Structure 1
């Protein structure tokens, strides 16, 4: 296995870097690099801009409108976008439900939904977690009963990211209450404008409205919105989660944040000396950087495997665990480096309602919110504890 980039890969990277340098709007880049919050228009406008080059769906094959890039090219793209401070393309439509539709969807579903995901017409959200059914997702209780030419869905979903903006939800529902819990689940596509759907905000500790709870009361879903076979939804859900967990590693983003951390530490003084030169703090950064190097090599191994036609297996769980641990460690060291200044909290500044933070330190102002927001990364996509169980079963045979 060769982990080195070829001359063609290097040329590809140069082309990508030049395009991003020339086309990423400065205001959008500044928002990302300064850890400010992005709004719906930020995501939508970036998706549209990428679409002019066919780059809004970089993992899609050409037959569905993607660029047909291989795994290495996609990895380079992710790295360069993270380096420059480009916002990520929202994954729910592009890299979560779309691969499921490509593999298991009907011809009609592909023809209708994929072009609308490609051009950003539909904003998708994920209807997986429920109160009491998070890591043990197979225990979900949202019920779908077949009545004539439609299903009637009743239940509740929670932690629905950006569901307040969503046009569509891909949703796991229980269609057979008598079967083993993994075998009685189906995968439905639900129009969020359907009567009976109520979206209520969950305001998190950082005073952000990012997640929601969604109530479904006698919601009618046409039978043609069932993906694949009835009661086979768990198979499709696992396929989707494999794609989600691989992307959660976010090595490029962590490399960018490491640069920010070092700059932050260099500007802080301890005993008149830069914190970056303090032996205790610098050793923490060094240890984290070593972890990141190991993570990056592991990602490259997975990329090489995918380039040879093998999809992510238990390696996806490994990337999810270590990737999220690195992300959390970065935010912890940022708060530690800035000290009491990190306690300053200015939501209006984070929302872009004023140019500078009232606390007087624009770099420090987002760090408390950033730290608290990243507590979730080891939980979503299947908690890290569950991922360790998957690794024990699939690799160690325990």
Structure 2
């Protein structure tokens, strides 16, 4: 179903579509469509194209290099970029840290850090989860002790996405252990290119090096890198997570993946007929299509509410739960549609610059890797079980 917008927003959507048709490199879109790996250089190439147009952080205020897009324009961009198989931007700095700095940071911090995000000078990662503090994020034990004009940081973070590329990390650290655990947390920006910071890879189920452990041993951060007030970091952390969870609806990307699934279902056969004509498969596909349409509607409702009243609220938890479950089901059904071609695990085919010939049709080479990688979706950003608790308490008031 085609989404309907007012005349002004529809004109904007046409502008977005024209830009993607002209500027999105075909080889990058092809890699995204087929679940192939994007290296750091390829990600930075797309981000540089967006930065040149002024669209890398378009919802920022114009005073800091943004376009002041409305919530609706932001949704249109995310939806159309997903449909076009555009590479995702690395969100940690641009979409997660930046809103925190804009709301809670000092003017000096905004003037220094935001331009460096736009020009690619800094690659950020997120230091939230720890071995004993995942869904219970307030249980962080990494400490930051003030010594003169610096904080001395000791502890461990885990599941740190793209830390192998990052030069900066924003961290939740414990600066006071005397009261409630939520009350003694601070939000600090830490340079990773220093003694005392060690990054160790975690190889995920799909064979990819995407996440890491990060160890701090007497690492240091200037007091000027404290965001907001000391011991008030829990407030900033919750604010950041609403932005992260809203992005997990993935309506555009899931729509593109569903279109690929439809193509596969028309191409692959069962008993000499297209798989799409198999009643059991067709029923599962129809259920997915209905759920995705419902998610689009719910997302638009949240967008409209945000446009009327500011930033995203607890409704972002609903988008996170349904968006991640739908994404997993699309990939599960795609694997089923591929049949025996889903069995070969073709890691080398997915890597940039690979000349390895795939086994089976090209549209199937990345499906198994994507399916395995997507097992994490219902866990990261706060597990879906935790999100249901948030929905129960904050929305249903139970």
Q: Equivalent residue for 1:283?
A: 283
Deviation (angstroms), 1:220: 1.2
Pairs within 5 Å for 1:355-374: 355=355, 357-374=357-374
Contact 1:344 1:364 (8 Å CA) reproduced: no
Q: Equivalent residue for 1:132?
A: 132
Deviation (angstroms), 1:231: 0.4
Deviation (angstroms), 1:294: 0.6
Q: Equivalent residue for 1:194?
A: 194
Pairs within 5 Å for 1:201-350: 201-350=201-350
Residues in 1 aligned to 2:202 and 2:79: alpha-carbon distance in whole angstroms:
32
Contact 1:346 1:357 (8 Å CA) reproduced: no
Q: Equivalent residue for 1:23?
A: 23
Deviation (angstroms), 1:4: 4.1
Residues in 2 aligned to 1:249 and 1:164: alpha-carbon distance in whole angstroms:
26
Q: Equivalent residue for 1:63?
A: 63
Q: Deviation string for 1:309-352 (max 9, x for gaps)? A: 33221210000000000000001001111112101111111003
Q: Does 1:46 align with 2:46?
A: yes
SS where residue 362 of structure 2 aligns?
Answer: coil
Pairs within 5 Å for 1:46-125: 46-125=46-125
Q: Equivalent residue for 2:352?
A: 352
Q: Does 1:170 align with 2:193?
A: no
Residues in 1 aligned to 2:289 and 2:357: alpha-carbon distance in whole angstroms:
30
Residues in 2 aligned to 1:96 and 1:397: alpha-carbon distance in whole angstroms:
28
Structure 1, gaps ≥5 residues long:
none
- Which stretch shows the higher mean deviation, 19-28 or 372-381? 19-28
Give the TM-score, by structure 2 length. 0.97
Residues in 2 aligned to 1:331 and 1:38: alpha-carbon distance in whole angstroms:
19
Deviation (angstroms), 1:147: 1.0
Give the TM-score, by structure 1 length. 0.97
Structure 2, gaps ≥5 residues long:
none
CA RMSD in angstroms, aligned pairs only: 1.1
SS where residue 183 of structure 1 aligns?
Answer: helix
Contact 2:348 2:356 (8 Å CA) reproduced: no
Residues in 2 aligned to 1:349 and 1:105: alpha-carbon distance in whole angstroms:
44
Deviation (angstroms), 1:355: 4.0
Deviation (angstroms), 1:44: 0.7
Q: Deviation string for 1:216-271 (max 9, x for gaps)? A: 00111111110000000000000000000001111000000000011111111111
Residues in 1 aligned to 2:111 and 2:14: alpha-carbon distance in whole angstroms:
35
Q: Deviation string for 1:52-76 (max 9, x for gaps)? A: 1100002212121111111111111
SS where residue 44 of structure 2 aligns?
Answer: helix
Aligned length: 396
Residues in 2 aligned to 1:160 and 1:322: alpha-carbon distance in whole angstroms:
24
